[in-house]
Amino acid sequence: MIDTIKTTPYMDQKMGTAGLRKKSKVVLQPNYFENFIQSIFNVISPQGKTYVIGGDGRFYNDIAIQKLIKMAAANGVKKLIVGQNGYLSTPASSNMILKNHTDGGFVLTASHNPGGENGDFGIKFATSTGGQCSAQVSERIFNETQNISEYKIMNSADVDLSQIGSQKLLDMEIEVVDPIKDYVKLMEGIFDFPAIRKLFAEGFTMRFDAMNAVTGPYAIEIFENVLGAAKGSVLNSTPKPDFGGLHPDPNLVYAKELVDIMYSDDAPDFGAANDGDGDRNMILGKKFFVTPSDSLAILTDNYAYIPAYKNGIFGVAKSMATSTAVARVAARHNIGYYEVPTGWKYFVNLMDSRRITFCGEESFGTGSSHIREKDGIWAILFWLNIIASSKKSVEEITMEHWKKYGRSYYLRFDFDGIKTDVANDLMKNLENKLPSLTGKTYGEFKIKLAEVFTYHDPVDNSSTSNGMRILTEDGSRIVFRLSGTSSSGATLRVYLEKLEHEKLREDPVAMVEGLLKIAFEVAEIRERTGKQKADIIT
Ligand code: VG1
Ligand code: CO
């Protein structure tokens, strides 16, 4: 039986950089989840359509997915393709949308944010492109949430998602699938698996940290079972509702267990980690860290090692905040180069129109046009393929890259938990100051340009402004943005980059110190936030 339930709107259901992201406690409010899902349905007219659904296994995944299934049936959806047990990584979901030509998909995840009752919950909504919906669509959904008065849901028992196969709920087909199989096939079609298998057979060692999130089972299958990495290479491999207390953000701060292993004297040859929903990656060598910005540049420069790309690639794109390392690679290879606002959705049009093959963000995101999301395991396999084919270590590959192209010393400074109006005022004040900064000299730095970053999409002609940037004569950059994924208060992100051609082995913190001083001064960070230093540096 279909129930129509009366409800009242919540005013805060605006999607950010990647879907809706809230404290779990907020999502647990009566009808909060249902309101948001019904608002999406009201915008996309789901009657007769097919969607892929799953989640990263965090707290509330199990309950929310049942609600989603019952609401889909009540709203006339024809078919749902569901990851077994309700689990699906973001990249696997994008692959399934594209492979099955579905009308879109839902991933229940707050990505790299902590999970659990006191953590975060979230929803990413993708269209038939396989990528998250555009800013315009998310605006229409937000408007719908402001006026919602009722939603439709089946009044029925929970659906069993543990068995592979098809079943029916009302007129809707529910197909429970093994999401890992398809994903392994996709990866096998891109990379040189025999070469990587040989690498492990010859004794190459790795550790992968799944951070108790969704990629554990994928990693065990791919790295250990298919490619032959030693058993036990995958750490924290069982998805847990609270990620075992970990903050599933693969960086030097939060992936501490892996980092300690990789910096110990008997470190394995290669280390990597993914985030909660499997779209982010961190790459490490023995006592060696590769920044995501450098990783994008290195992968692009080495595309010819990879079977799927060896005949040539279209261009490459990065988010504006990402370092300019990949720009120098694009120039040398004479391929297209694009700079977009932060958020993977801005890469989708560029991939669909074959302007780019690779893209990446400084926030541990790398990917290609094989799907329309960033892809953590893809990036790791890319590195393993380069290592297997070039017979060089992570450190050798990176050092050679810096010698050839120079090194962009790069760090991101996050100032968390700022009051929203304080953060907004800080940004407004800085924006007003920008015109007066151009031409000014601060110590060794002369400012060439200070501006609000505005992106013009070459495909749909939309314009988006996101963040501000200060460029100096020596090629350094300071970028300011407010986060669009924090679930309470505001986070100010300050991104610093300094290009060096000679000094290749310095301490990054020392290298960007001068730029940090300018950032504090022009944005009045201490005066306005009371913070003497950043909360997290990545
Ligand atoms: C952050 C990152 C951004 C990334 C987004 C989603 O956004 O900076 O590069 O695309 O998270 O990543 P923000 O607005 O907080 O800076 V994920 O792995 O949460 O989908
Ligand atoms: Co993620």
pLDDT in tens, 55-108: 999 999 999 999 999 999 999 999 999 999 999 999 999 999 999 999 999 999
Q: Give the residues of the chain that fall short of pLDDT 50.
A: none
Does residue 94 carry a catalytic annotation?
A: no
CB distance 77 to 26 below 8 Å: no
Report d(CA 286, CA 266) in Å as an integer. 9
Q: Ligand nearest 19 Cα, by number?
A: 1
- Provide the residue type at 291 as one letter: T
Q: What is the CA radius of gyration of the chain?
A: 23
Say what the pLDDT of residue 356 is.
98
Ligand 1: which of 14, 17, 243 to mutate, judged by most atoms within 8 Å of the beta carbon?
A: 17
CB distance 490 to 382 below 8 Å: no
Does the C-beta of 249 come closer than 6 Å to ligand 1?
A: no
Which domains are assigned to the chain? Answer: 2-179 (3.40.120.10), 183-403 (3.40.120.10), 407-537 (3.30.310.50)
Q: Of 434, 525, 513, whose CA–CA distance to 471 is shortest? A: 434
Say what the pLDDT of residue 488 is.
86
Residue nearest to atom 13 of ligand 1 (CA): 483
Does the C-beta of 485 come closer than 6 Å to ligand 1?
A: yes
Say what the pLDDT of residue 487 is.
86
Report d(CA 530, CA 534) in Å as an integer. 11
Q: Of 111, 108, 83, whose CA–CA distance to 96 is shortest? A: 83
* Catalytic residue from among 24, 39, 111, 138: 111
**Neighbouring-strand partners of residue 53:** 82, 106
Does the C-beta of 342 come closer than 6 Å to ligand 1?
A: yes
Does the C-beta of 56 come closer than 6 Å to ligand 1?
A: no
State the chain's maximal CA–CA distance in angstroms. Answer: 72
Residue nearest to atom 11 of ligand 1 (CA): 485
**What's the CA-to-centroid distance between 486 and ligand 1, angstroms?**
9
Report d(CA 237, CA 248) in Å as an integer. 12
CB distance 392 to 495 below 8 Å: no
- Would you tell me the crossing angle of helices 32-44 and 135-145 to the nearest 10 degrees? 120
Does the C-beta of 484 come closer than 6 Å to ligand 1?
A: yes
Residue nearest to atom 16 of ligand 1 (CA): 483
**What's the CA-to-centroid distance between 48 and ligand 2, angstroms?**
30
Say what the pLDDT of residue 120 is.
97
Q: Is 102 exposed, middle or buried (0-12, 13-18, 19+ CB in 10 A)?
A: buried
Does the C-beta of 112 come closer than 6 Å to ligand 1?
A: yes
Q: Of 108, 138, 131, whose CA–CA distance to 120 is shortest? A: 108
Residue nearest to atom 6 of ligand 1 (CA): 18
CB distance 407 to 217 below 8 Å: no
Say what the pLDDT of residue 443 is.
93
CB distance 235 to 55 below 8 Å: no
Unique residue bearing structure tokens 């249902």: 34
